[in-house]
Amino acid sequence: MQEQTQEIKENNISSLEKKTRLNKEETKEEYFSIIRILQTDIPGNKKTLVGLTYIKGVSWAISNALCKILNLDPEKKILDLDKKEIKIIEDFLKNPQNLPEFLKNRRNEFETGEDSHLVGAELDMKKEFDIRRLKKIRSYRGLRHAFGHPTRGQRTRSHFRAKGKKKAIGVKTKKVGKKG
C-alpha cells in the first residue's frame, strides 16, 4: 500500500516537472539590453550598422560612413560595444569632422552659410524654427505649412482632403428626395 502511494506521488511530481518544463520552453524569450546613445534607446541585439540608424538624423549612409571612419566593425552587436566606443560614437555624431559634405543634413545653413549635421532633438528644433521662419515671412512654403497643405508640389485635387473630422472636402453627394 505504501509502495503504491509513493509511486503515485512520484508520478505526480514527474508530471508537474514536465508541465513546468513545457511552460518554461513556451515562455522562453530572448532577453537583451538596451543601450542609450544620444538620448535614443537602441536594442542591444542589433548590429552596429543597423542600431545607429535608430538615432534621429543618422541614415544608413551616415551609419556606414561612421563605422568606416571610426574603424568600427559594422557586424558587431551594439551590446558588445564598450563605453569608450560609445563615447567615441557620441562625440563623432555631435561634431562630425571627416563626414563627407554630401551626407550632412544642414548644407548651406540659412544663418551661417556653413555645412553641419544635426541629430536628435537639435534636428527637430532647427526644423521647427525653419518652418516658423517661413510662416513669419509669409513665403509660399510658409503659407502652405500654415494652411496644412502639401508644400512640395503634390496634386491636391484628389488627395489631402481630409481635415478635422476626417470628412472629405469638396465631394458632392446626391440628396435623396421624399416620394409622395
All three cell numbers of 87, joined, read 563615447
* 72 inside domain: yes
Identify the pLDDT of residue 28: 46
Does any domain span residue 93?
yes
pTM: 0.66
Residue 54 falls inside a structural domain: yes
What per-residue confidence (pLDDT) applies to 125?
A: 92
Q: Has residue 87 been placed in a domain?
A: yes
Whether residue 155 lies inside any domain: the answer is no
Residue 135 lies in a domain: no
Domains identified in the chain, total number: 1
Task: Give the domain extent around 76.
Answer: 34-103
Q: Of 152, 111, 113, 144, which is closest to residue 130 (Cα–Cα)?
A: 111
The answer to the question of residue 96 being in a domain is: yes
Q: In this structure, is the dihedral angle defined by the CA atoms of residues 56, 42, 87 and 65, taken in order, positive or negative?
A: negative
Q: Which residues of the chain have pLDDT under 70?
A: 1-32, 162-171, 179-180
Please give the grid coordinates belonging to residue 147: 494652411
What is the CATH number for 78? 1.10.8.50
> Is there a domain that residue 94 lies in?
yes
